[in-house]
Every structure is written in C-alpha cells, then in structure tokens.
Amino acid sequence: MDRIRIVGGSKLNGTIPISGAKNAALPLMIAGLLSEETLILDNVPRLADVAQLQRILGNHGVDIMSAGKRPGDHEYQGQTLHISAKNIIDTTAPYELVSKMRASFWVIAPLLARMQEAKVSLPGGCAIGTRPVDLLIMALEKLGAELTIDGGYVIAKAPGGLKGAEIDFPKVTVSGTHVALMAATLAKGTTIINNAACEPEIVDVADCLNKMGARVTGAGTPRIVIEGVAKLHGARHTVLPDRIETGTYAMAVAMTGGDVQLSGARPELLQSALDVLTQAGATITVNNDGIRVSRNGAGLSPVNVSTAPFPGFPTDLQAQLMALMSCAKGSSHITETIFENRFMHVQELARFGARIHLDGETATIDGIAKLRGAPVMATDLRASVSLVIAGLAAEGETMVNRIYHLDRGFERLEEKLSACGATIERISG
Ligand code: UD1
C-alpha cells in the first residue's frame, strides 16, 4: 500500500494550480444520466472517486470518453469527459460499486426521473445510521416516487413519472438538494425546494442543468424553483475550481510560512475560510490569477470557529484548521456542527505532539511551538490531508500510511507541494 514520506520544516514558495472540484464533478457526471445526448465536462480532476464513478455509470450503460491533452494545455489541466447515456441498459447500482463511494447513491435521482425506476444499494456502513439518506428518500417520495428498502437496496418506482412538489428540508443537506434538483428537472410541473443547500457545487450543477435545457432558478439561495421539462439535451460545462483544495493549500502555507499563488482559485467560494486565515495571521491577496497566500515571521493567532453550511466555514476544512491551530500561540476552539464524530484526525494529530481536548462537538486546541514528525494513519479524506499539512510544518520525518483516501480527493498532491519546495514523496508498495 502506498505511503507518503514528508520531511518537514521547509517553507512553501511558488505556484499551485487548483483543480476542478471533486464535489461538483461527481454530481455533474451523474447528471449526464438525465439526457440521451452527450454531456461534455471540462476540468474534471483525475481522482480515484471520478474513476470509480466512471465504473458505476458504465454499469448503467453510459459510454464515457476521456479526451487527451491538446497542444497548449497546461500539464495540470483536468480531463475532458464525454458522457453519453443514450441507452441506459441497467437501472441497478450494485452494493459492490456504491459501497465504495457514498455520492454514487445519487444516481437514484436521474435513473428514476428518466427511466421511472431504480434499484440502488444503500451507501456503505450501517444502513440508516450516521450519514443517513432519509432526507433523500423523503424528497423523492414528495416527487411521487414509491420507495421500499429490501436487502440493503432502495427500490424506487414512479410508473407515471415524477410530479413537481414542494420539498421542505428540515436541515440543510447537500446530498438531498442535489437529488431533489436532478429529479425535479424531468418531473411534470413545478418543484420548490425550501431550505436548500447554497453550496457553490449546487450552483454549478444547476448551471449545467440549465445548459442542458432544464429550467432552474434560485440555486445558491435557500429556495430553488424547478419547472419540469420533458427532455434534457447535450451541453458542455466546465467544472468550477475546488474550494476545499484551495483552502487546504492556503492552510498549508499559513502553517509552514512562505508565499504561494493558488492559481485559478476563486475567493468568493471560500470567503469564510480566508477570513479565518487572515485572523490567524496569514496575508491573503486576490489577483487576476487567483489567490496569493503568505505568512512571514509572525506567529499564528488562535481562532474560534464553528463549521456551518455555505457560506459558513466548511466542515471539509475543519481537520486542516485543527492542524494549523495546533501551532498557534494560545488556545483555539473548533466546533463541528455538520457531522458528529468528525474528529478521527484528533488522535493522529496527537502523534505530532498536538494538544487537543475533545468535549462533545467542540475541540480545544492548545497551541505548541513546534510539532514533531511521526508515523500516522490516514483515516478519511479530509482528515488525511490535515496530517500532510502537519507533517509539512513538523520537525523531522513523517510517514502518512493508508493514503488511498488522499487519492480520492486530492489530485497530484505530492507533485504540487514538492514544486513549492516541500520534501514530500510517495513510496509505492
Ligand atoms: C457533501 C459533501 C461533503 C461535505 C458535506 C457537507 C459531496 C460529494 N460531499 O456531503 O464533502 O462534507 O456535503 O458540506 O458533495 N443528513 C441526514 N439525512 C440525509 C442526508 C443528510 O440526516 O438524508 C445529514 C448528514 O448526516 C449530515 C448533514 O445532513 O449531518 C449534512 O449532510 P449532507 O449535506 O447531505 O452531506 P453530503 O451531501 O453527504
């Protein structure tokens, strides 16, 4: 199994190109199921999750062609996918495929909308425990689908087609909003989604759906209105830049010190995180090419932050901020309000010497002068990269084990960081 070896202590200086957003690319690829015609997606990141979703869509009969590089393309430029769902030959998404990636459950929405049926395995782990899908099921039922759960599968049928409805989400859910939005595009009549997620990836998907002929308004606000249409057609769309990758590298620079241009980044996608970084002592400037982050000399100041749905501080940057605050001058408090137990990184950060105390949803981090490198284990996607950031700033050698989580969500991580002066390498086998 691959590992990443880091020798910490170098400042980061240079340019890091920001990839297309994983959390937009996945639902955009799934939206390709809604049309018989080809959906072309540009700037799709080369990630394990994207490859896995290609396999899942292929199982439904979708042809996906990945276009190679063109003269003049930047070496980091994402791939272009041609997604053609002319013939859907199978409406079942089996356990073996869905259990590997939670977002693949979302295929239930376009399959149901276009084929009036779907059989999709419940996503991995315990069925309706933490990270449940009850609100996704509620939304589809509101749209007139009949759903049963049998043998670990959700079996969904809408014999006369889906019908527009008013959907009130009791809590903000990104997955629920994606599913309701995609399903409603082909429903008869008008759908209103109240308390919708406002995340930029929802807006990106809505923009693409509109290019495909859907009639969606209000994406990016808590009230989305969708006028159903009979068919969607082909379109071409560019995936927006990854705000979590942007925030992650910004925190890495804040932690090691140095000066890095995050090329292609869009500040409005992560303003809350940039504000926190400024408060912590980083200098953030916005320019034509993206965002520049630097920190020279002065130490890090502690911060108090709660995660929240967009435009609040993203839960997907919580672990990285905790790594950063482990070297602040004083005590910080970080409260996780989106996912209970999203603190797997705490015990691994402790191996670097970080002083973190957990009390329910809140972590108190007592900053220390210097972390020390250590062997650590990557636990989940965002937690893994917090260990990389800690390793970059720590004295001595860090070995991050089980890095397949990183490959799910961070494109060419070690290449991008070593180009900025980090000592970081992948050890295969
Ligand atoms: C998405 C992102 C993930 C991010 C999260 C929150 C993708 C592929 N993943 O995950 O990176 O961390 O948004 O910004 O885009 N919930 C229910 N019932 C449901 C669905 C969700 O109770 O049916 C709860 C969840 O347990 C959680 C909260 O709602 O506590 C938010 O979940 P949700 O926004 O749906 O997250 P994901 O879409 O899974």
Q: Which atom of ligand 1 is nearest to the CA of 340?
A: 30
Check if the beta carbon of residue 259 is closer than 8 Å to that of residue 236. Answer: no
Q: Which atom of ligand 1 is nearest to 316's Cα? A: 12
For residue 133, which atom of ligand 1 is closest to its CA? 23
The whole-number pLDDT of residue 78 equals 87
Ligand 1 mean position, distance from CA 176 (Å): 8
Determine if ligand 1 sits within 6 Å of the CB of residue 242.
Answer: no
CB distance 132 to ligand 1 below 6 Å: yes
Q: Of all protein residues, whose CA lies closest to atom 20 belonging to ligand 1?
A: 133
Distance of alpha carbon 45 from alpha carbon 32, whole angstroms: 17
Distance 99 CA to ligand 1 centre (A): 16
CATH 3.20.20.150 fits 24-230, yes or no: no
Mark the ranges of the chain whose per-residue pLDDT is less than 50.
125-129
Residue 237 tokens, joined: 């769309």
Helix or strand (DSSP H, E) at 345: helix 345-350
Nearest-CA residue for atom 17 of ligand 1 = 132
For the Cβ of 29 lying below 6 angstroms from any atom of ligand 1, the answer is no
> Which residue of 26, 173, 320 sits with most ligand 1 atoms within 8 Å of its CB, as the best mutation to test the pocket?
173
Tell which residue, 130, 82, 91, has the closest CA to residue 109: 91
**Which residue has a Cα nearest atom 5 of ligand 1?**
174
**Distances in Å between the alpha carbon of 346 and those of 125, 271, 376, 386?**
22, 25, 11, 10
CA-proximal residue: ligand 1, atom 13 (nearest): 174
CB of residue 175 inside a 6 A radius of ligand 1: yes
Report the atom number in ligand 1 closest to the C-alpha of 171: 29
Domain with CATH 3.65.10.10 in the chain: 3-15+242-427, 24-230
244 lines ligand 1 (CB under 6 A): no
CA of residue 39 to ligand 1 center, whole Å: 26
Residue with tokens 């180009």: 419
Q: How far is the CA of 68 from the centre of ligand 1 (A)?
A: 33
Burial class (CB in 10 A: 0-12, 13-18, 19+), 96: exposed
CA 397–ligand 1 middle distance (angstroms):
35
Distance 425 CA to ligand 1 centre (A): 32
Mutate to test the pocket of ligand 1, among 23, 107, 131, 141 (most ligand atoms within 8 A of CB): 131
Q: Is 126 a catalytic residue?
A: yes
Q: Which of 126, 198, 208, 327 is catalytic?
A: 126
CA 337 / ligand 1 centre spacing (Å):
12
SS3 letters across 188-200: ECEEEEECCCCCH
Question: Using a 6 Å cutoff on CB, does residue 135 contact ligand 1?
Answer: yes
Considering only CA atoms, which residue is closest to atom 4 of ligand 1? 316
- Ligand 1 centre from 23 Cα, in Å? 11
> Closest Cα to atom 3, ligand 1: which residue?
316
b vs e for 381-415, b when ≥16 Cβ sit within 10 Å of the residue's Cβ? bbbbbbbbbbbbbbeeebbbeebebbbbbbbbbbe
The CA 312 to ligand 1 mean position distance, Å, reads 15
DSSP state of 133: -
The reply to whether ligand 1 has any atom less than 6 angstroms from the CB of 24 is no
What is the C-alpha to C-alpha distance for residues 327 and 332, in angstroms, rounded to an integer? 10
Question: Which fold is adopted by the domain 3-15+242-427?
Answer: UDP-n-acetylglucosamine1-carboxyvinyl-transferase; Chain (3.65.10)
**Under 8 Å between Cβ of 96 and 56:** no
**Pairing relation of β-strands 235-238 and 38-44?**
parallel
Classify strands 146-150 and 166-168 as parallel, antiparallel or unpaired: unpaired
Task: Tell which atom from ligand 1 comes closest to the C-alpha of 199.
Answer: 14
Taking only the tens place, the pLDDT of each residue in 194-229 is 999 999 999 999 999 999 999 999 999 999 999 999
